[in-house]
Amino acid sequence: MSNNEITIYTDGGCLGNPGPGGWAYVLTTASGQEVEASGFEADTTNNRMELTAVIEALKRAEALGSARIALYTDSQYVKNGITSWIRTWKVNGWRTSARQPVKNKEYWIALDALASRLAVSWHWVKGHSGIAGNERCDILVREAMEQVQ
């Protein structure tokens, strides 16, 4: 990590899909300060919780005034969506290549706005593979989902 980079791990999950869901992030500042946050929704989807985790984490990073952000997610949906698919969706009027409306459009719009203001490098990590930040997020997500029940 460079001396002015924030590192973020995010995760989201759902009991059933749709169902009760949780999201979480672990943010580490350049000075080594660690910030954790999580939340839940009573009726949501896995993808919405993955997106919410990233959106909330980037809001916090922006508030901290980060110069650069390294964001790690175990969601291919989020990583591919923001680094590749979103360009086509916007050109196609928020429709997929199959001409269907983009699911979770309001989340993607919010994420796109944040990402356009921040210097984010996007990284995919394999879930449940022993990566400390990802594992901690998974625990926080499960704890958040328990609050719903």
Q: Please give the positions annotated as active site.
A: 11-12, 50, 74, 128, 138
Q: CA 6, 12, 146: angle at the middle one, nearest 5?
A: 120
User: Would you say the C-alpha torsion 37, 43, 47, 48 has a positive or negative sign?
Assistant: negative
Type and span of the H or E element at 38: strand 34-44
Rounded Cα distance between 68 and 62, Å, is 10
Question: How far is the CA of 41 from the CAs of 23, 113, 139, in angstroms?
Answer: 9, 23, 16
